Chains A and B, each alone.
Chain A
């Protein structure tokens, strides 16, 4: 018969003692394994949360970047179209022209030679697309129904720029004897196409009625330039040359044009008629800059949030490590103490048995072996049970947390579910710890048992 058989028989005889010892080892090992597993869970979940948050932040930033880039591209395109398609309009005027009179009354008083138009058209200006020489006169007109103030403009239509292909004209010429009438005038006077009207002492036929433009054009009539020059006594003279749809690459477009015109037509000045399109483009540019700044702030904010989450997870991890670092040793010490008490109880129960075994010739080492072999069995079985218990509880708890907490990734779930169930190294470590725990806890009671004096036991028994 071997020591092991004797131990196993004794275990079978005193099941409660063995069961309680096994339970305490299992709880201790379970706490250890469970704590480790939960710390792994925390690590896995932290990585998962941070990865998810990073992906989310990056996605938001990318979306924002894409929007800003798209908006920027659209703005650039719009600006290009605005400045190139619509351009902006300038008046080339004699330097002596009083601008206040022009702005307040729409009237031009100073003239310049009509030959300026030919010089401009023959020059190699690249900033001007259309040239429109005009004479203008403000008058109180006695119309068919009532008297009203009108602006008479004499125009000959667009003058082609010689070095370029002919573009579609922005304004058609008015034939001699015809008149084109602005909105307020034909509404107030009840004019229709083909009607006759007298202007500056000459009869004209209405050839075109303009729709409402909400500008001074609504109070304007257009006649042939030559006729106007003749009626106003301004032969070979013009008040202004309108340059329409000017293209400039730089933002200081008027300066650029002025520089070119000054070279070609000394004694003239350039005034901008309208800058609405540019204003809109500038506004859009500002908006784009604001969007880019907001994007930058969002990126910085995302980085900050990510950093904060990292810090939060790290702090949480440290707290859990600290808790495990305190709790697990406490449980281990408690379990060791409990096993010691149980073994001591077992020694007391077996006093007579130990006495008789010593009497028939058992050596003290054999008695120690009896108790240590039992503690080894308790340690090994307790390690297996505790491992399963710790893993099971941690897995259950962790899975519940996964299910309850968002965000989580399929990858992390898979790692949690599959890869961490069984670790041979951890099992070996726990078996080592459990047998050491059980062995150390049983050591002193085993020595006490071995030291029992058989004579005393037999005399008292």
Chain B
């Protein structure tokens, strides 16, 4: 199993009250899974993704990524686990504004601390292949500010794919895209899901068409 979410719960303290973002939620993803979690804003979709991504420790339950509980690891080991096993795609793209498309993609390789030149060269080659594959070859040296939103999201997708992760966690990846670009991104996610797993949280109906499995989420629970 690539990703196991077992009875996970998470609550935030908002002023003097506790708001339950996740409540006893369980989900499993294996190779070939493309799971879309649909729900209204504030239902806990992003919290689910952050928790599953080893970024937000749950109050209860357990997360296993490739069989490893990230929250049982040190912060550095957890970061390494994220770098090697997970890929993130966000609605706001979150590209580094002063780095070119190629450099943005290669930041993922930096996270794995490749020290040997052969490793760096290999990462560079793969980055160029991904850029080409995602239709961004002519944009390789461009800065994010010079790209369209679709190109930015494809750049973010290339970054997520660089380290050959097992799972891609996508938070509203088509939220800022037109239908054409959204379709392009979703097709690439679908393509990835043949060898890995995709957990996509969205309220975009179009995205649901590409998912193998759709889960509805309300008040922190899958229904």
Contact = CB atoms under 8 A, between A and B. Distances in A.
A359 B82 contact: yes
Interface in A341-359: 352-353, 355-359
A281 B110 CA distance: 105
B19 to A, nearest CB: 13
A3 to B, nearest CB: 7
Nearest to B76: A363
A347 to B, nearest CB: 15
Nearest to A451: B75
B99 A357 contact: no
A458 interface: yes
A362 interface: yes
A2 B111 CA distance: 11
Contact of B111 (A9, A13, A362, A364): A362
B90 A3 contact: no
A357 B109 CA distance: 11
B107 interface: yes
Contact of B83 (A10, A360, A461): A360
B111 A356 contact: no
A458 B106 contact: no
B88 A360 contact: yes
Contact of B55 (A353, A458, A461): A458
Given A454-B55, A455-B50, A459-B50, A361 B112 contact: yes
Nearest to B102: A1
A361 B98 contact: no
Nearest to A11: B98
Given A6-B110, A13-B97, A461-B94, A361 B82 contact: yes
B94 A358 contact: no
A13 B98 contact: yes
Nearest to B99: A9
A212 interface: no
Interface string A1-43: 1110110011011100000000000000000000000000000
Contacts of A3: 110
B103 A5 contact: yes
A365 interface: yes
A364 B113 CA distance: 13
Contacts, number: 87
User: Chain A interface residue count: which class?
Assistant: 20 to 34
Interface in B87-123: 88, 90, 92, 94, 96-99, 103, 106-113, 120
Given A5-B103, A455-B56, A360 B76 contact: no
B79 interface: yes
Contact of A10 (B76, B79, B98, B120): B98
Nearest to B88: A359
Given A6-B110, A455-B55, A361 B99 contact: no
B152 to A, nearest CB: 13
A366 interface: yes
A317 B134 CA distance: 71
A366 B84 CA distance: 16
A366 B114 CA distance: 13
Nearest to B83: A361
A458 B170 CA distance: 13
Contact of A362 (B103, B110, B159): B110
Nearest to B91: A461
A361 B84 contact: yes
Contact of A361 (B50, B96, B106, B108): B108
Contacts of A360: 82-83, 88, 107-108, 111, 159-160
Given A364-B75, A455-B55, A461-B92, 6 more contacts: A6-B107, A10-B98, A13-B97, A352-B94, A353-B97, A365-B76
Interface of B: 46-47, 50, 53, 55-56, 75-76, 79-80, 82-84, 88, 90, 92, 94, 96-99, 103, 106-113, 120, 159-160, 163
9 contacts: A356-B90, A357-B107, A359-B94, A360-B111, A361-B108, A361-B111, A362-B110, A363-B113, A458-B55
Name the 4 nearest CB pairs between A and B, nearest first: A361-B83, A13-B98, A361-B111, A455-B56
